[in-house]
Amino acid sequence: MDKYVHEAYTITKFFPKEEMYGSISQLRRSALSVVLNYIEGYSRRRKKVQLQFYEISYGSLGESEYLCYFALSENWINSEQYNKLIKMSDEIGKMLWSEITSVERSIEKGYK
């Protein structure tokens, strides 16, 4: 996850300056939100609270993926940069989905 955030920050350095408060800010915040919400969920004891933070993290991942696609379509990044980010995102998404389903199973079994 950490590499994903750093890569998002790196590519946004080359976005148009007029996007400072738009796409640059949004991509950086959504990529960082993936990690921060995961960490916050992991540090919570109650399974339902963990699940909530993991789902927020997963949603932020989807948001950042779209912003990467948008950057590609606007020619702010090239296909190599895009593919690198999407590969990382896919790996993070699989990990998060595994965590989400694991916590959901725990909740179904009656763990708080």
What is each CA distance from 44 to 26, 47, 50, 70, in whole angstroms? 26, 8, 6, 34
From the options 1.20.1440.60, 3.40.430.10, 3.40.50.970, 1.25.40.10, give the CATH code of 2-108.
1.20.1440.60
What is each CA distance from 85 to 41, 51, 95, 103, 110, in whole angstroms? 23, 25, 15, 27, 37
Query: How do the domains of the chain map onto residue ranges?
Result: 2-108
For 86-101, write each residue's pLDDT tens digit. Answer: 999 999 999 999 999 9
> pTM for the full model?
0.90
For 15-64, write each residue's pLDDT tens digit. Answer: 999 999 999 999 999 999 999 999 999 999 899 999 999 999 999 999 99
Q: Whose CA is closest to 5, among 30, 23, 31?
A: 31
What is the pLDDT confidence band of residue 111, given thresholds at 50, 70 and 90? low
Q: Whose CA is closest to 58, among 23, 33, 40?
A: 33
